[in-house]
Structure 1
Amino acid sequence: MNLNKEMVLKIIDNALREDIGTGDITTQAVIDQDQEMTADILAKEDGIIVGLDVAFWVFEYLDSSVEFRPLVKEGERVARGTVIAKVSGLTTSILTGERLALNFLQRMSGIATQTAYYRSLVKDYDVRIVDTRKTTPGLRILEKWAVKLGGGANHRFGLYDAVMIKDNHIRAVEGIQEAVKRARQNIPHTMKIEVETESLADVKEALAAKADIIMLDNMSFEMMEEAVRLIANKAIVEASGGITAENIIEVAKTGIDVISLGTLTHSIKSLDISLNF
């Protein structure tokens, strides 16, 4: 995926409407309209910086005359105390855009930093760390971009770009094989089919249905190992559910191909970043 500016500008427009409303009362009341200043954007803890373009687009959207100068690269790891960018221009424009620009930078950098941490835990194993659809509504493109810059990979973007047959689909049509059969009849031949499984019986049924990807959902390590043995490279194997920093190495040891983690986007700590004149 790429960071589509047109999509991001729609997010920025909505966010600025929410934040500014009828106007930045404090800034308008306190600051001279023609005053100009320069501000440093500072990383207050170690981490991976993502969202510099988005922060720039916030200021650009408010005032095209604002100058935004990144001092580090997108996706670069920095130490606490690093000045990551400088912003120059009308003081009113900088103050009005400050909070939103920082919100994006902090959250995206937090996601990238957490992704890099999980990736480092399994660096010795041939396994991919991927995200899920458990993202903040309306911010998916930003959060998935941050995962990618943190060294992870992206799962499907939405319901429209991949087939993923989950437990409720299976219950609704009374079986994995029937669900896969219906999917194959109604999708292009170029599209893969993923099936979520909860037991070894499910795995065997998904294999019989010739699923392209088999997800092992909330399985024990022992069950995962047996599932990998049963699948025997006939499908890509994904593990999901209940995976934490404490057990991810044991999951990787089972021989699965992909680990999907909702925690990359739904349970992150934003990186501490500030803007100072």
Structure 2
Amino acid sequence: MYYALGNYYGGGINALSWHENQFDIKLTTGAVGTTVNVLRTVPAMPYLSFKSEVTNAPAGTGDKAYIYLPSGGKLMYLRGTYAIDQTKKTVSAALPDPAYDIALRLSDTLNKLGISVNGSPQSTTTLAIAQQSTPAIKNELTNILSPELSKIIYWLNQKSVNLYAEQLLKSLAMKAGKEPTTPNGVQVLQDFWVTKGIDAKSMNIYDGSGLSPGNRVTTMTMARVLQSAKKESWFNYFYESLPIYNDMKMKSGSIADVLAYTGYQTYKGREFCFSIIVNNYNGTTKGIKDKMFRVLNVMK
């Protein structure tokens, strides 16, 4: 979904990720119909400028602000609408170049500590734009290991961190000895579930996060995946990672006019694996959510 690429949940992945590849833009609202103003960013983004074309919208209409940054550009546009009763007054944007951002902040911190830094901050992206090659690493200063996979999965599901999902999909390809690309990761993922008896034709996957409207995975397949997972050694870690919505252990998923829930529920002493999805609905997200919960409540 192109309109989501500038927002935090649609940001691209990088070899070096930093602050989950996002930053916050603080807003000030006003009268309905006027322009929402950009107050500041957290942290400060000295290499970017911002132009708000977001309109103050009536109370109850929610956050429908989207962020655009032309490729290679430095002027970030905010467009859409933002309800005047939004309490957070913040939208989160994707970092355009996480490696450059961390290099800039590291350089700034070292200078403040009185440690001299030669040259200006660079990344593979800025070097490519300048038609320069990436220098080889001369000295390896340290190695930093990630948290355990179970903890990454926990926060991925608890907070719906799309960045983690996209990175893990490519990591599957790398683990299988392939180039870490999205198509290769998808192939490894599909091959795994085929060995568990899942029909490959029921899993049309185009990304790791589910943002692509081209994704097609049937609800029956999702339920069978959950059923199969119960037989795996890692099941307890997976189960604990699932959030609780409507007093049910399940994961939500949503894009424009699409809402889905998949999870586990015990009813009359039996545990069920369930999956429900509504496509192209009309009305509000809250309205369709309440109706879906009414259906799911039959299992309570």
Q: TM-score, normalised by structure 2?
A: 0.27
Higher relative contact order (CA 8 A, sep 6+): 1
Which structure shows the higher helix fraction?
1
Q: TM-score, normalised by structure 1?
A: 0.29
Which structure shows the higher strand fraction?
2
